Amino acid sequence: MKNILIIGAGGVGRVVVHKCAQNQDVFETITLASRTKSKCDQIASELSRPIHTAAVDADNVKETVKLIRDCGAELVLNVALPYQDLTLMEACLEAGVHYLDTANYEPKDEARFSYEYQWPYHQRFAEKGLMALLGSGFDPGVTNVFCAHAQKHLFDQIDTVDILDCNAGDHGLPFATNFNPEINIREITANGRYWESGDWKETQPLEWHRPYTFPVVGEKEIYLLYHEEMESLCRNIPGLKRIRFWMTFGPSYINHLTVLQNVGMTSIEAIPFQGQQIAPIEFLKAVLPDPASLGPLTKGKTVIGNIIEGTKDGQKRKVYVYNICDHQECYAEVKSQAISYTTGVPAMIGAKLMMTGQWMQPGVWNLEQLDPDPFMNALNQHGLPWQIEDLDPDSPPVWGE
């Protein structure tokens, strides 16, 4: 009996459930649980096969352990928020089941996401013969697997990686975020950071930017950001000299964000307001459009991938490995836009490779530590086809030099 418990009924949760439901041979029994059960029931009503739904507070280990035991799951797929990662890992250890997530832990009161909270669980998972797969979305996730594929098949030595995340979709609204606004804004308003020659270097938030011409969608402004996959990739690619991450933003998004920051609305520090303590960013989240509501509105494509430079057979080599995904095609298939789709499909694939034994190994792992071949094949099979373009090794770099 292959039995999965998916926690979180947001934009990504919807995609994971639809994709797991499409793969009945692997996911024979599916339970979807979240803080608000009616959201689980809504998603369940969109499917052509029955699933179970439940309410759960994933911050509560005891309650989660009971749910895992009641539904008999073998694996918990966490697509709630990064704040729940540690309680869900604890619940998995106690209930004796495997764990997967798409974003690393972040304390609620500090905008600082890092694997340093989750990596120390390695021994405890290993001793119980359990596996935890960290960051099985697109970035992190697919971008890590692109690096592992390049390392295995395209290069003898990887020197530099630039990850480029381009969302050329347009939802027609003045300002909205494509995934959880609180998590998204915390990420973007932090200092930029990249890794070079063994050290982290910092920039001011959104300080480095330039126009970049992408395949199919053309020129977009890219901004250097800190992003979580760099923390594991700089350790797991031997001899790596530099890794950076870039994301596109349109002028309207940047203008709105600048004003919100200037008036203090992006602060995570709670302030007293009418007898309550309220963090402005949480209030802001409540008034911004729900990312799930953008599905039917968003048109255009995402282009996400890695430019990788290094050497093969003594020659310089430079490749661009990327996926192009269309917002409206995603909506037609699973009622979500491409940002949720590109995260939910790799989460389902990670769970599939664990449950079928292809990736199952005790301990806590990032995706680049596992064999990329079955994951790359599954991307083509499940709606995220990739391509590899050979670039002129002497072509201008993404930035600098």
- Contacts with ligand NDP by CB under 6 A lie at 7-13, 34-36, 39, 56-59, 79-82, 84, 102-103, 137-141, 179-180, 183, 291, 343
Q: Which is nearer to ligand NDP, 312 or 382 (CB)?
A: 382
CB of 313 to ligand NDP, least distance (A): 33
**Between 88 and 158, CB nearer to ligand NDP:** 88
Query: Closer CB to ligand NDP, residue 7 or residue 224?
Result: 7
Minimum distance from residue 49 beta carbon to ligand NDP (Å): 21
Question: Minimum Å distance from CB 72 to ligand NDP?
Answer: 19
CB of 120 to ligand NDP, least distance (A): 20
- Which residue's beta carbon is nearest to the bound ligand NDP? 10
Measured from the CB atom, the residue of 155 and 375 that comes closer to ligand NDP is: 375
Give the residue with the Cβ less far from ligand NDP, 31 or 102: 102
Of 260 and 345, the one with the shorter C-beta distance to ligand NDP is 345
* Least separation in angstroms between CB 25 and ligand NDP: 26
> Least distance to ligand NDP from the beta carbon of 401, Å?
29
Give the number of C-alpha atoms closer than 13 A to the C-alpha of residue 89, restricted to the C-beta side.
25
Residue 134 CB neighbour total at 10 angstroms: 28
